[in-house]
Amino acid sequence: MRIQPVILAGGTGTRLWPLSRELYPKQLLCLTGEHTLLQTTLIRVSLLPDVLPPVIVVGEEHRFLTKTQVEALHLFPEYQLLLEPLGKDTAPAVCGAALHARQEQKQEDILLLVLPADHLIVRPDDFILAVAKAHEQAAQGKLTTFGIVPDRPETGYGYIRRAGDGSVLSFVEKPNLATAQRYLAEGGWLWNSGMFAFPNEKLLAEFQVHAPEILRCMEKAVQGGKADGVFFRFDAEAMQLSPAKSIDYAIMEKTACAAAVEADFGWSDIGSWSALHEVAEKDAQGNVVSGDVLLEDVENCLIRSEDTLVAAVGLRDILVVETADAVLVAPLDRAQDIKKIVNKLKQQQRTEFRTHRTVYRPWGSYTTLEIQERFQIKRITVVPGAQLSLQMHHHRYEHWIVVSGTAKVETGEEEFLLCENESTYIPLGTQHRLTNPGVIPLELIEIQIGSYLGEDDIVRFDDAYGRGK
């Protein structure tokens, strides 16, 4: 039974704000090393024997960043991104991936290995052994979850009660502290990791029994879906009608075929800053430090600088995270309450919950350097060979100044090249396009002036990346 990895990469990880944002979620961040959490998940997958090209389920807005990170590894000549038009929790995502695997592989003996993209596993060799055990369970027709051996009475995870033969006796929601302490004392309880190994056809049969409406909707979403290179878009109308349920609730808590593999491979879901503090490398005073940071008499803190110097004196058990547009300060044991701040940002319709000052696009990125009522200054980076869409604006004029590289500019009926320290002006209402024809990144400063400077004031006439008008 060949392994079909399915990486679930649709979350936003708001509990890691201000580093994690809606358009730059946790799985795309480097939190514990040189690779992002998504990349480390893919590296682990590449070590498995007899593994098929990975399938990654991702939201439409994150597709280009995800594609860039997959291809930067140079591990998989083939892979596919299944694009969700909207979030419907994990059951529709897993069901859609199973149906897509059946359609693509045209064979029944596939082991669907479902892995969240944003988890940390310290010991990949032990992970491979756990997958081998799950493979054995799957050969017996079991729907297998990976249960993590607990090392403390954790109240932030759900629990699994496992019988001696590996079958699941019960799933329980996150307990209070007294209940978690009892579970640890009793033994036989495991943390619910959210990782699974499913015989593909058995899983779809269980969807037919326990979640037929999800199966019906996702069959239509796959049948009506469209392939576009490495992308496969589920049909939006069909998926909109699907119930939103987790795979635990829709299938695992109802099936008579649930089994659990006892897994002990240094796992963390890094669900909060305090969880990252627990697993990250610390200095002699118990501090986790990243970026340009100076400390004096600081103990057991997590301090991270992304953009500027952070200096701290006399702190104990404190969290400090600095980005270009936000600073978070909180006791480490209140890290879970950050979601309350994110909710307030959403209610106030502030942009800081959704995006950083640097925003990534399929052609490169732009960084907002300053924004005022009637003008905005951006630094734009276009990677070699890439181009922006052919577009126009109703409410703003633009001035472009090349800092380095070469720009090919189309404006109205004109087409010309700009080199370093040269500039041009784009009148309001004029069709224009920017291309980097060179072999080094194009860097330019864009000054926008007008009555409205929002990103939705873009009318696209042609786009190489399939983005709508």
Helix, strand, coil % over all residues of the chain, rounded to 5 = 30, 35, 35
Residue 276: what pLDDT?
A: 94
Residue 469 pLDDT exceeds 60: no
Report how far residue 380's alpha carbon sits from residue 459's, in angstroms, rounded to the nearest whole number. 19
The ranges assigned to domains in the chain are 2-268, 282-341, 358-462
- The single-letter code of the amino acid at 336 is Q
Backbone angles phi, psi at 200, to 5 degrees: -60, -50
Backbone angles phi, psi at 359, to 5 degrees: -120, 130
State in Å, rounded, how far the first CA of the chain is from the last one. Answer: 44
Cβ atoms of 20 and 70 closer than 8 Å: no
Residue 467 pLDDT exceeds 80: no
Cβ atoms of 377 and 445 closer than 8 Å: yes
Count CA within 13 A, CB hemisphere, residue 351: 11
* 458, two tokens: 């873009």
What's the predicted TM-score (pTM) here? 0.85
Report how far residue 426's alpha carbon sits from residue 382's, in angstroms, rounded to the nearest whole number. 18
Which of 20, 28, 33 lies closest to 281 in space, CA to CA? 33
Strands (E), 179-290: 189-199, 226-228, 231-233, 258-263, 267-268, 288-290
Report how far residue 283's alpha carbon sits from residue 266's, in angstroms, rounded to the nearest whole number. 20
Q: What percent of the chain has pLDDT over 70?
A: 99
Residue 124: what pLDDT?
A: 93
pLDDT in tens, 24-69: 889 999 998 889 999 999 999 999 998 999 999 999 888 889 999 9
pLDDT in tens, 404-450: 999 999 999 999 999 999 999 999 999 999 999 999 999 999 999 99
Q: 2-268 and 358-462: same fold?
A: no
Report, at the CATH architecture level, how domain 358-462 is classified.
Sandwich (2.60)
Residue 389's alpha-carbon distances to 118, 122, 445, in angstroms, are: 32, 42, 18
Residue 60: what pLDDT?
A: 86
Higher-pLDDT residue of 105 and 343 is 343
SS3 of residue 235 by DSSP: coil
Q: Tell me the torsion sign for CA atoms 227, 231, 233, 234.
A: positive
Quick one: which H or E segment has residue 425?
A: strand 423-426
Residue 172: what pLDDT?
A: 87
pLDDT tier, 336 (very low <50, low <70, confident <90, very high otherwise):
confident
Least confident range of 160-164, 428-432, 464-468: 464-468
Residue 11 pLDDT exceeds 80: no
Strand partners for 113: 5, 197
Domain 2-268 superfamily per CATH: Spore Coat Polysaccharide Biosynthesis Protein SpsA; Chain A (3.90.550.10)
Count CA within 13 A, CB hemisphere, residue 146: 28
Which of 231, 299, 263 lies closest to 137 in space, CA to CA? 263
Q: How many CB atoms lie within 10 A of CB 450?
A: 16
Is the bond into 18 cis (omega within 30 degrees of 0)?
Answer: yes
Token pair 């100076």 in the structure block, residue:
294
Which of 119, 123, 127 lies closest to 3 in space, CA to CA? 127
Strands 310-313 and 318-322: unpaired
Q: How many CB atoms lie within 10 A of CB 246?
A: 16
Cβ atoms of 432 and 388 closer than 8 Å: no
pLDDT tier, 107 (very low <50, low <70, confident <90, very high otherwise):
low
Residue 186: what pLDDT?
A: 87
* CA angle (55 as vertex; 50, 56 as ends), nearest 5: 140
Residue 228: what pLDDT?
A: 87
Residue 411: what pLDDT?
A: 94
Higher-pLDDT residue of 255 and 156 is 255
Q: What integer is the mean pLDDT of 355-372? A: 91
Report how far residue 62's alpha carbon sits from residue 25's, in angstroms, rounded to the nearest whole number. 9
Residue 108 pLDDT exceeds 70: no
Higher-pLDDT residue of 336 and 195 is 195
Q: What integer is the mean pLDDT of 192-220? A: 95
Which of 408, 353, 413, 401 lies closest to 385 in space, CA to CA? 408
Report how far residue 355's alpha carbon sits from residue 454's, in angstroms, rounded to the nearest whole number. 13
Widest Cα–Cα separation across the chain: 77
Q: How many CB atoms lie within 10 A of CB 219?
A: 16
Residue 58: what pLDDT?
A: 94
Report how far residue 388's alpha carbon sits from residue 375's, in angstroms, rounded to the nearest whole number. 21
Q: At what angle do helices 37-46 and 63-73 cross, to 10 degrees?
A: 50
Residue 347: what pLDDT?
A: 95
